[in-house]
Structure 1
Amino acid sequence: MHGNDAQMLVLTALAGGPLHGYAINTAIEVLTGTRLGPGSLYGALARLEARQLVEPAAGRSDAQDRHRTVRITAAGREALRVELEQLARVAQAGLRALGVAPA
């Protein structure tokens, strides 16, 4: 999975509320049918936190603590919204091209 895809999945999981790593991966599994590997999940979380799109929910900042709870920030919500709207446009265009969606 591409790094940006993993980041979008993490943001999507966090849009419903703060979660810790295992719960994020469980939410992703429910959504996609697959789990992210630990490197993909925690790499995505580190990149999202560096971009200030997620933050520790309980004031803890130990990046090595896999049980820490994180939450999406306002900037993260906006980034996710923009990405999802773009994906929706692409999906609609693809479905129209396949003759599955109305023109």
Structure 2
Amino acid sequence: MPYAGGPMTEAMYYVLVALLNPAHGYQLMNEILDVSKGRVHMGPGTLYGVLSRMQKDGLISLSDDDGRRKTYSITIEGRTALKKEYRRLKALLEDGAEVENVEG
């Protein structure tokens, strides 16, 4: 079933950002940690669940499987969804910019 759109989970978003360069699971966990500046720690259980779902949704694909490691890549659909989500998140920040001036 293709991705239906709508807001992404944080895990989905960071997997797609990390997969702008193809990677296998262990690399992905490290890349997500780097991209999020240490804020998002994704363990194997969460990661592989998200990868499976995103593969079914057509956002990522398996680009290599040597029997030991599976390397994943973002698809064209995944790139489109990532750009759309980025614009949505950016709009949220712009809409709430006045929060910075709120005391407390």
| Alignment TM class, shorter chain as reference | 0.7 to 0.9
Structure 1 residues 30 and 66, CA gap change in structure 2 (3 angstroms):
farther
RMSD across aligned positions (CA): 2.1
Residue type of the partner of 1:79?
A: A
Q: TM-score, normalised by structure 1?
A: 0.80
C-alpha displacement of 1:53? 0.5
Secondary structure (helix, strand or coil) at the match of 2:11 reads: helix
Q: How far apart, in 1, do the equivalents of 2:99 and 2:57 lie?
A: 35
Q: Structure 2: where are the runs of 5+ without partners?
A: 1-7
Q: How many residues align?
A: 93
Q: Corresponding residue for 2:100? A: 98
Where do residues 61-72 of structure 1 align in structure 2 (5 Å cutoff)?
67-72=69-74
Residues 45/31 of structure 1: CA separation in 2 closer, same or farther (3 Å cut): same
Task: Give secondary structure in 2 for the equivalent of 1:98.
Answer: helix
Runs of 4+ in 1 over 6 A off after TM superposition: none
Flag structure 1 segments of 5+ consecutive residues without an equivalent.
none
Q: What is residue 13 of structure 1 aligned with on the other side? A: 18
